[in-house]
Structure 1
Amino acid sequence: MNFDDVAAAAGKLQDGGMPVTIDTVRDALGGGSASAISRHLADWRAAKDKPAEPPRAELPQNLVADLARWAQQFAEEAGSGTRAELARHEEELESLREAGDALEAERNALQAQRDELATARDDALATLAERDEEIERLNAELRNARQVAMEALVGKAKDQLAIEGKDAQLAELRAQIEKNVTQTAALSDARLAAEMELVGAKTARDSLEAENKDLRAQIAALRKR
């Protein structure tokens, strides 16, 4: 988009009785930068609104000179208001151009900031997802560790109960052995005192010794376990 495009669009709008503004020119062009259109439109207005030179008069030289001076003065006085208005418009347009440039710069800065925030948000979401996965993995490991510890405690408790049961059996067998030994000793003493009961005492002693032997075998078997 250049000056010729803006001037052509502005001329068409003016010929059609339409207001010539930045928005109407941009609509006629189908888009474009507001600041660029404003600059070209100001140049178009300045070129279009130049005061025309006074016409030459075929009069006596002195009269021509006087008329020329008068015409020049009149043109300057008549155009002073237009030039002042144009100058004022130029100042306003320049202010608008500066404001437009500032707004575009601010918009670009905001766009860049928004892009940075979007990138930071995506990074934060990715980091959060990684942390969620890490937490889930640690929870799974903790559950497994608890399960292993529980199984170990149960196994230890079972072993302790088995040991306690074996100790109780050994104590009972020891008590039986001591009882049998005592009975065997009593029978031996009774044999010396009662020869008549020798056969019965011997049989009882043998039975007790056999029982004692079985008990010792049971103790040995329990110890091997």
Structure 2
Amino acid sequence: MNFEDVAAAAGKLQAGGTPVTIDAVRDAIGGGSASAISRHLADWRAANETPPEPPKAELPQNLVAELARWAQQFAEEAGTGTRAALARHEEELEALREAGDALETERGELQQQLGELTAARDDALVSVAERDEEIERLNAELRNAKQVAMEALVGKAKDQLAIEGKDAQLADLRTQLEKGVAQNATLSDARLAAEMELVGAKTARDSLEAENAELRAQVAALRKKG
């Protein structure tokens, strides 16, 4: 027994208006295993039988109308909460949109501030670089000034040493000059004394000459009388 035997027997039963069952097929082919007939019969039905259409579910008109009314009422009652929820959602969405707009505006402002801060930072960096250059220039000038001051101090020290040497020479000259002045003063005093003595001597001489002249005059007068 094979599928063709089962299919041929099932076809004859169906054509004769007899229900196609395992027992009917087994009787038609004169025996066989029920499990094998069932397996071949399932394949035959899948290929030849059309599944019966399920009966249509038709409701009474009054029931349909009542169900429609109930559905409408339910939809309205359910829609009340839904509409309220939708309204809340709309409000929340509007608030979110406003918050989003505010955030967008704030982001734009922050970006602008960031740009300004970046520009300020760049300007500050340029200023710092310029200040560093200025500090380096001033440090170089300070080093040069220190070098010049050091050289000036060294020169001044040398000059001071030279001046001190000259001061020592001047002190010696001053001592010698003072000694000379003292000697000159002594000599001047001696000269003055000599001059005074000379004046006295001249005066005495003049007196003597006057007395001699007077004596000569008296002698001459006496001679004339004698």
Shorter chain as normaliser: what TM range? 0.3 to 0.5
- More relative contact order, 1 or 2 (CA 8 Å, 6+ apart): 1
Q: Report the structure number with the largest CA radius of gyration.
A: 2
- TM (norm. structure 2) is 0.39
- TM (norm. structure 1) is 0.39
